[in-house]
Amino acid sequence: MTLRKIVSTTLLAALAACGSAKNENTAAPQAAPVLFTEDAKDTHSFARPEEARVRHVSLDLTTDFDTRVVQGTATLDIETAPDAKEVVLDSKSLNISRVTDTEGRALPFALGKGDEVHGQPLTVQLGGAKKIVVHYASAPGAAALQWLSPSQTAGKKLPYLFSQGQAILNRTWIPTQDSPGIRQSWDATITVPEELTAVMSAEMLTPEGEETDGGRVFRFKMDKPVAPYLIAIAVGDLTFKEIGPRTGVWTEPAMLEKSAWEFADLEKMVSAAEGLYGPYRWGRYDLLVLPPSFPFGGMENPRLTFLTPTVIAGDRSLVSLIAHELAHSWSGNLVTNATWDDFWLNEGFTTYFENRIMEAMEGKERAAMLADLGWSDMEQAFTDVGGSRSKDTQLHLNLDGRDPDDGMTNVAYEKGAVFLRTIEQTVGREKWDAYLKSYFDRFAFQPQTSAGFIADLRKNLLGGDAALEKKIGVEEWIYQPGVPANAVHLKAASFAAIDQAAKAFSGGQPASSIDASKWSTQERVRFLNALPRRLTPAQLADLDATWKLGSTGNGEIRFAWLMLAVANRYDPAAASAEQFLTAQGRRKFVSPLFEALEKQGEWGKPIAARIYAKARPGYHSVTAVTVDKMLGWKA
Ligand code: BES
Ligand code: ZN
């Protein structure tokens, strides 16, 4: 595929030109022009931003834990082209009672034809209004939100609510233009039951909240324009502990000390990231450790990364996940994929950056181990999507007509990271680092496309050197399936001994003859993944007993063990799998495990069905929907 023609006009420029041209010089400063290309059309949003677009969202919402709805208003600032009569928003399962202007005059609105994945367009007749007020409530089953009963929390006494917006779920609780290319500043006033605390991915103006009759009110402000999937909320029995001057951790009281200990190096990590690619631009960087049903390892909500409690291994061995979410403060949150077809611009850049942070924090060998595990994950992802000739192994995807989730595989993460590492090693680290730092500056607070990145790379790194571009193979990397021959595979020196040990063990040596006492988490994972999927029950029992794999609280090791055990139809692991799958809802662990069980036919299917029936009610919709599809589950 050839690079699409770049159209160097921008919506901003177009809108500005349509407006008062004579005021050119006095107009408020606009962001630098963005290269808009054909592939910047977001097929996962109903919005038509070239006609009318949302600039600011102001939420005034009450969380009702009895009915499990949020309800109130969203007041939107709309910027329009001169002849625009209406604005189109995204919505899904929202109950909209009315839409008004700020004087309370009703504005006509309609919900149009939609579908299961995208929801419905909400079209509002503006009648000249520049601000509109949508009065609405979310549905009790809103896909972004999970309402937890007290028993699903660490404290067991109070309920909990959290949201997960990426990729296109925020439209189930916020009526706005839900497209990553349409950045919006926002603020919120949130009323919660008086014993609970609300936090959001924004500046917290009232950390203690303010009393109102029968509730507490919390106010938030995000004055930088962000992609709307990054608006996030959590409400629960939350407390805070400072880690450094601009870092800290929010969680339930029972989790606070453990969390603060695990992430004690957070402040240093922010500084390490800044040392690589420039200033952290969001003010504070806090973590929120959620209840175990949180469907992801982490989610990079600005100023407040949301985290699974399964990263709390008790030995700080899984902090690369924090490095990852922190790196998104540049790649993803500052420079954002314009559409989900270019998800790799978020995740590939972030996975690369994550590895550089880990190198700075823990040295080259640890970084090599993580990158080497990533390489295996990439190979696995290729297999999962149908082999390295599948179009789904391209970095730039075409997800039109599909759920954006379909494109969210390790191809984007790991092939993306290997691509950037390959550029790094081709041009030299010094030159590459200077380029990448300047890239984040040039595109700060803007959407980006593959075509835009290539154009920038040509201009600001390759300097028109066609031979160098050919050597890297830029377009092949982005627009062709598989991995180009020049891919840099970082290998961990220490893995040689681990692979040796795996060979010895599978050849019949007992686990006790292997001195694994100094192995890191990454080495343990490598060992388990290196074992053949055919071992004897005695070998598996030996492994399990020697290293307590079936009961380890380290999620990565537990997962690697269970995948091995299930592939071997190892009966005693069924109880451990059940415990693991009902105790947490992280999709990355849950989905492959159910898939592996399912693959084991008459042995695994009944186990999967039994465990899923028990576990499913505890999962967030993100995890439940994925596993439903895989198991063909019906209520
Ligand atoms: N942004 C992602 C999570 C995500 C991806 C949410 C796709 C919705 C759709 C986050 O940064 C992430 O990648 N999390 C990973 C951890 C990371 C260390 C690979 C996860 O959840 O496992
Ligand atoms: Zn990520």
Q: How confident is the model over 445-488, as pLDDT tens digits?
A: 999 999 999 999 999 999 999 999 999 999 999 999 999 999 99
State the distance from the centre of ligand 1 to the C-alpha of 299, rounded, in angstroms.
6
State the distance from the centre of ligand 1 to the C-alpha of 83, rounded, in angstroms.
40
- Coil vs helix vs strand at 106: strand
Q: Is 121 a pocket residue for ligand 1 (Cβ < 6 Å)? A: no
Under a CB-based contact definition with an 8 Å cutoff, are residues 617 and 624 in contact? Answer: no
State the distance from the centre of ligand 2 to the C-alpha of 58, rounded, in angstroms.
27
Nearest to 272 by CA among 355, 373, 374: 355
State the distance from the centre of ligand 1 to the C-alpha of 134, rounded, in angstroms.
31
Q: What percent of the chain has pLDDT over 90?
A: 93
State the distance from the centre of ligand 2 to the C-alpha of 507, rounded, in angstroms.
38
Q: Do domains 330-479 and 516-631 have the same CATH topology?
A: no
Q: Could you tell me the CA-to-CA distances from 44 to 40, 83, 117, 213, 481 in Å, in that order?
A: 11, 25, 9, 41, 23
Q: Which of 320, 324, 415, 590 to mutate to test the pocket of ligand 1 (most atoms within 8 A of CB)?
A: 324
Which CATH code fits 330-479? 1.10.390.10
**Residue located nearest, by CA, to atom 17 of ligand 1:** 321
State the distance from the centre of ligand 2 to the C-alpha of 324, rounded, in angstroms.
6
Locus of tokens 């291994």: 313
Q: Assign 40 a pLDDT band (cuts: 50, 70, 90).
A: confident
For the cut 50, the answer to whether the pLDDT of residue 231 exceeds it is yes
Ligand 2 ion: nearby residues, β-carbon < 5 Å: 347, 350
Q: pLDDT by residue (tens digit) across 119-150?
A: 999 999 999 999 999 999 999 999 999 999 99
Q: Is 308 a pocket residue for ligand 1 (Cβ < 6 Å)? A: no
Q: Is 412 a pocket residue for ligand 1 (Cβ < 6 Å)? A: no
Rounded to an integer, the average pLDDT of 267-276 is 98
Q: What are the sequence ranges of the domains in the chain?
A: 3-237, 330-479, 516-631
Please state which CATH class domain 516-631 belongs to: mainly alpha
For the cut 80, the answer to whether the pLDDT of residue 20 exceeds it is no
Q: Is 300 a pocket residue for ligand 1 (Cβ < 6 Å)? A: yes
**Residue located nearest, by CA, to atom 8 of ligand 1:** 166
Q: Which atom of ligand 1 is nearest to the CA of 350?
A: 11
Q: Which atom of ligand 1 is nearest to the CA of 588?
A: 22
**Residue located nearest, by CA, to atom 22 of ligand 1:** 297
For the cut 80, the answer to whether the pLDDT of residue 3 exceeds it is no
What is the model's pLDDT at position 634?
Answer: 87
Q: Is 297 a pocket residue for ligand 1 (Cβ < 6 Å)? A: yes
- Average of per-residue pLDDT values in the chain: 94
Q: Is 298 a pocket residue for ligand 1 (Cβ < 6 Å)? A: yes
What lies within 8 Å, CB to CB, of 517 at 6+ separation is: none
Q: Which atom of ligand 1 is nearest to the CA of 408?
A: 7
Rounded to an integer, the average pLDDT of 603-616 is 98
For the cut 80, the answer to whether the pLDDT of residue 290 exceeds it is yes
**Residue located nearest, by CA, to atom 6 of ligand 1:** 166
Q: Is 299 a pocket residue for ligand 1 (Cβ < 6 Å)? A: yes
Q: Is 167 a pocket residue for ligand 1 (Cβ < 6 Å)? A: yes
Residue 175 buriedness (CB in 10 A; 0-12 / 13-18 / 19+):
buried
Under a CB-based contact definition with an 8 Å cutoff, are residues 313 and 236 in contact? Answer: no
What is the model's pLDDT at position 542?
Answer: 98
Locus of tokens 């309370």: 104
Nearest to 312 by CA among 185, 429, 485, 154: 154
What lies within 8 Å, CB to CB, of 163 at 6+ separation is: 144, 145, 146, 169, 170, 173, 231, 232, 233, 234
Rounded to an integer, the average pLDDT of 518-528 is 98
State the distance from the centre of ligand 2 to the C-alpha of 336, rounded, in angstroms.
12
State the distance from the centre of ligand 1 to the C-alpha of 509, rounded, in angstroms.
38
Q: What percent of the chain has pLDDT over 70?
A: 94
For the cut 80, the answer to whether the pLDDT of residue 10 exceeds it is no
Q: Which ligand is nearest to the CA of 301?
A: 1
What is the model's pLDDT at position 39?
Answer: 53
For the cut 70, the answer to whether the pLDDT of residue 61 exceeds it is yes
What number of H helices and E strands is found in the chain? 20, 24
Q: Is 296 a pocket residue for ligand 1 (Cβ < 6 Å)? A: yes
Q: Is 523 a pocket residue for ligand 1 (Cβ < 6 Å)? A: no
What is the model's pLDDT at position 31?
Answer: 42
Q: Is 144 a pocket residue for ligand 1 (Cβ < 6 Å)? A: no
Q: Could you tell me the CA-to-CA distances from 79 to 85, 132, 136, 182, 379 in Å, in that order?
A: 11, 11, 22, 12, 45
Q: Report the alpha-carbon distance of residue 129 to residue 101 in Å, rounded.
A: 6
Q: Is 282 a pocket residue for ligand 1 (Cβ < 6 Å)? A: no
Q: Which ligand is nearest to the CA of 323?
A: 1
What is the model's pLDDT at position 454?
Answer: 98
E strands, 36-175, are 36-37, 52-64, 69-80, 86-91, 95-100, 109-111, 120-125, 131-137, 145-148, 160-163
Q: Which atom of ligand 1 is nearest to the CA of 295?
A: 21
Q: Which atom of ligand 1 is nearest to the CA of 413?
A: 19
Q: pLDDT by residue (tens digit) across 526-549?
A: 999 999 999 999 999 999 999 999
Compute the C-alpha angle 493/317/436, nearest 5°. 70
What lies within 8 Å, CB to CB, of 203 at 6+ separation is: 220, 221, 222, 223, 283, 284, 303
Measured in degrees and rounded to the nearest 5, phi and psi for residue 68 equal: 60, 50
State the distance from the centre of ligand 2 to the C-alpha of 417, rounded, in angstroms.
12
Rounded to an integer, the average pLDDT of 201-205 is 98
Q: Which ligand is nearest to the CA of 305?
A: 1
Q: Which atom of ligand 1 is nearest to the CA of 324?
A: 18
Q: Is 595 a pocket residue for ligand 1 (Cβ < 6 Å)? A: no
Q: Is 321 a pocket residue for ligand 1 (Cβ < 6 Å)? A: yes
Under a CB-based contact definition with an 8 Å cutoff, are residues 307 and 288 in contact? Answer: yes
Q: Which atom of ligand 1 is nearest to the CA of 166?
A: 8
Q: Which atom of ligand 1 is nearest to the CA of 351?
A: 19
Q: Which ligand is nearest to the CA of 354?
A: 1
Q: pLDDT by residue (tens digit) across 344-400?
A: 999 999 999 999 999 999 999 999 999 999 999 999 999 999 999 999 999 999 999
Active site residues: 325, 413
What is the model's pLDDT at position 580?
Answer: 98
Q: pLDDT by residue (tens digit) across 427-451?
A: 999 999 999 999 999 999 999 999 9
State the distance from the centre of ligand 1 to the C-alpha of 563, rounded, in angstroms.
20
CATH topology of domain 3-237: Immunoglobulin-like (2.60.40)
3-state secondary structure 431-493: HHHHHHHHHHHHCCCEEECHHHHHHHHHHHHHCCCHHHHHHHCHHHHHHCCCCCCCCCCCCCC
- What is the β-pairing status of strands 285-289 and 304-307? parallel
Q: Is 348 a pocket residue for ligand 1 (Cβ < 6 Å)? A: no
**Residue located nearest, by CA, to atom 3 of ligand 1:** 299
